[in-house]
Amino acid sequence: MTSATGSPTPPEPEDADAHPAPAPRAEAAEPQEGADPAAGAAQRAASRAPSWLTRLFRPGPQHDEDEDPELTGSFKDAAAARPVRVGFGLAVGVALAVMLWLALASLSQLLMWIAVALFIALGLDPIVRFFERRRWPRPGGVAVVVVLCLGTVGAFLGTLIPALISQITTLVRNAPAIVESLTNNPTVQALDTQFHLVDQAQEQLQKLLKDSNAMGGVFTGVIGAGNLVGQFAFGALIVLVLAIYFLVSLPAMKRFVYSLAPRSKRRRVRQLGDEITRSVGNYVMGQATVAALNAVLAFVLMTIFKVPYPALLALGVAVLAFIPLVGGVFAGLLVVVVALFSGGWQTALIYAVFYFAYLQVEAYLVAPKIMDRAVRVPGAVAVIAVIAGGTLLGVAGALMAIPIAASVMLLVREVWIKRQDAL
């Protein structure tokens, strides 16, 4: 615009609030006197850096997000204020853990008896359930099962004890004749002439009789053997009593175990538990059937080939054949050894051919058909389970290995795999 005189009019000042003037660039703060030069350089660099980079490298909280700072602080404060009390509490906890471990180690034999008794009870439960389906009360079925088991054990002992007494009596009666036949043997006489075996044997026998320490060792060994027999008898009695108790109260025990599960999952836990106990019982009955067939065949073969004590050896075969995978082989070797010393190598060879041929038929035809209804365990898993169980717990571990492996596979298949499929 121009004024009336024609001179240009100076521009009116603009509104400062509408268009604020840009602020001058802030100069880098000068480091104070006495400050660290490195810190001042870092401060100037941070002032020149973009804001997003400054926020990126800004230090966060020192504690973890999942960690409760109040709890951590209280524990640190308590540990700092009362170190003796905190240390004493930790020492007491460690001592209690060690005492619990030692208690479990000292009760290992009792825990083994309980496990064997529970395994026997689960194995006899299918017979009791058979009587229950015939409208028998459970105590009546348990009584019948117990009578049958005691009758079997009594028959075994009734056959074993007279045979042992007869063999020991015959050995004592024939001992002088056996010694005389050995001394008159030409081979023994030739060795005695060269090495003086008879004189050395008599001299060692006289030293043994005169040595009190040696006789004490003999008596100690006899006492130890007696203690071992007593412990075995006591363990067998405890297992028998516990097995009867578990067999009578098995439904109540199962209900109590199922009640420990949450209400929403109790039905599923009951289904899995019933299936596991049923598979264990079916496995025991199937293995007992296989052992019974093995014993019957062995008894028939021993009767045909006139092997002595066929009934006693058949009971031994039944007990050994109950052990999976390797029991039948050991049972066959036992009878072969007896036949070798009683009837000659021809009888032993013929018996071995027939018996081990049956073992092949049993392994590929009989046992799979019986066990397929009880447990579904692959052959490799069964072998590994039996070896591991025998290594850890001996014969009892080998007996319980396959049903335990079947239970683990059932839980994996019904719980873990289905959960993974649902994801």
d(CA 167, CA 241): 33
Chain segment 240-255, per-residue pLDDT in tens: 889 889 988 888 898 9
Distance linking the first and last C-alpha atoms of the chain: 80
In the predicted structure, residue 64 carries a pLDDT above the cut 60: no
Cα–Cα distances in angstroms (integers) from residue 412 to residues 172, 409, 418, in the given order: 60, 5, 9
Categorize the per-residue pLDDT at 27 as very low, low, confident or very high, splitting at 50, 70 and 90: very low
In the DSSP assignment, the letter for residue 366 is: I
Domain parsing of the chain, residue ranges: 263-423
Rounded CA-CA distance 168/25 in Å is 116
Q: What percent of the chain has pLDDT over 70?
A: 70
| Of 402 and 197, more confident | 402
**pLDDT tens profile 161-205:** 787 787 778 767 777 776 677 677 777 677 767 776 667 776 776
Q: Which tens digits make up the pLDDT trace of 296-321?
A: 898 898 888 888 878 888 888 888 88
Q: What is the pTM of this model?
A: 0.64
Alpha-carbon distance of 353 to 35, in angstroms, equals 101
The structure tokens listed for 202 are 């008599």
